[in-house]
Amino acid sequence: MSGRLVVFGVALALAVAGCASERPADARERLRGAVERLEEAGGAAILVEATYHNQPSATRIVSTGLIDIAHRRYEVTTTLPRTGTVRRVYADGLAYEWRPVTGWTLTDVEAAVRGSSAFGLGHLASNPVLLLDLLRAAGEPSGTGGASAEADRESGGGESDTGEGLIHAEADLDRLHDADPVWSALAGQVRPASGARTVPVGVGTDGEGRANLLRVTLPLPRQGTAPRGRPEVDVTVRLSRFGAPTNITPPPPEKVRDITAQITHPSGD
């Protein structure tokens, strides 16, 4: 999968227009071009902001770092409440995490997703590689025709850098299911948790017409202390410094402890 664009199908849906809008066909073409230009960028700086609504009060977590778009790798640093600084590296479907107490751990993401829906839904919100797959899905033409999208100029920060407004579209989970080993397991968890077969996304662009912003709301596993209603997380992914050099490598194997089995079989059986 490294170094090539993963081709997705998509169902693009009409979004409610704000003060002004462009024709759906024009918005769809702008979105498609924005994704193509993003693929050409190689590396970029990345910021992932996630606001979790699965506790009595919302929790906001911000991660910053670099992403290798072409090779589907990233490394970010996150500050977690009561934990401190956490480092995360994702490469070749493996998620590495460093915490002050545990050191480096390793999780095989596909195996963990198949073994634990709680892990899968939680991991998606913090994995920019998988999040950008939603953007790619929204940028590919539908194989069945009739796909459309509409850009709307919103107030309160809803515009992209060009002032053209966010493009609103929907990624088809059925098509994502067939596109990637991790998504083949993950899509089957997102669908029943969200109650829908598509994921609405908002996409912003920069002055080069390149996608540099993704906004999406995703379902979360229910916890005992969660407030009433469906637990979810609002995620914003911002990309900048396109073309930035990236040399993202996993930690040395001898320094890593594999915890995949603990996630898939938490009781040890």
CATH number at residue 174: 2.50.20
Check if the beta carbon of residue 257 is closer than 8 Å to that of residue 106: yes
Q: Spell out a b/e string for 116-145, using b for 16 or more CB atoms within 10 Å of the CB, else e.
A: bbebbbbbbbbbbbbbbbbbbbbbbeeeee
CB atoms within 10 A of CB 264: 16
Give yes or no for residue 15 having a pLDDT over 50.
Answer: no
- Specify the higher pLDDT residue, 32 or 19: 32
Q: Average pLDDT, stretch 75-83?
A: 90
Q: Is residue 63 part of a domain?
A: yes
Q: Is residue 202 part of a domain?
A: yes
Q: How far is CA 26 from CA 10, 21, 129, 206, in A?
A: 16, 10, 27, 17
Domain coverage including residue 187: 24-70+122-250
Q: Is residue 256 part of a domain?
A: no
* Residues constituting the chain: 269
Q: Is residue 184 part of a domain?
A: yes
Q: Is residue 227 part of a domain?
A: yes
Q: What percent of the chain is predicted at pLDDT more than 70? A: 78
What is the C-alpha separation between 181 and 175, in angstroms, rounded?
Answer: 12
Let me know how many helices (H) and strands (E) the chain has, helices first: 7, 12
Q: Is residue 199 part of a domain?
A: yes
pTM of the shown model: 0.82
Most confident of 23-27, 81-85, 265-269: 81-85
User: What pLDDT score does 163 carry?
Assistant: 47
**Residue 76: strand pairing partners:** 65, 88
pLDDT band at 81 (very low <50, low <70, confident <90, very high): confident
What is the C-alpha separation between 151 and 163, in angstroms, rounded?
Answer: 11
Burial grade of 156 (CB within 10 A; 0-12, 13-18, 19 or more): exposed
Worst-scoring range by mean pLDDT, 53-57, 182-186, 233-237? 53-57
pLDDT band at 16 (very low <50, low <70, confident <90, very high): very low
Q: Is residue 117 part of a domain?
A: no
User: What pLDDT score does 149 carry?
Assistant: 52
Q: Is residue 115 part of a domain?
A: no
Worst-scoring range by mean pLDDT, 29-38, 64-73, 130-139, 237-246? 130-139
CB atoms within 10 A of CB 72: 23
Q: Average pLDDT, stretch 84-96?
A: 96
What is the tally of structural domains in the chain? 1
Q: Average pLDDT, stretch 39-53?
A: 94
- Tokens matching residue 245: 């050099």
pLDDT band at 156 (very low <50, low <70, confident <90, very high): very low
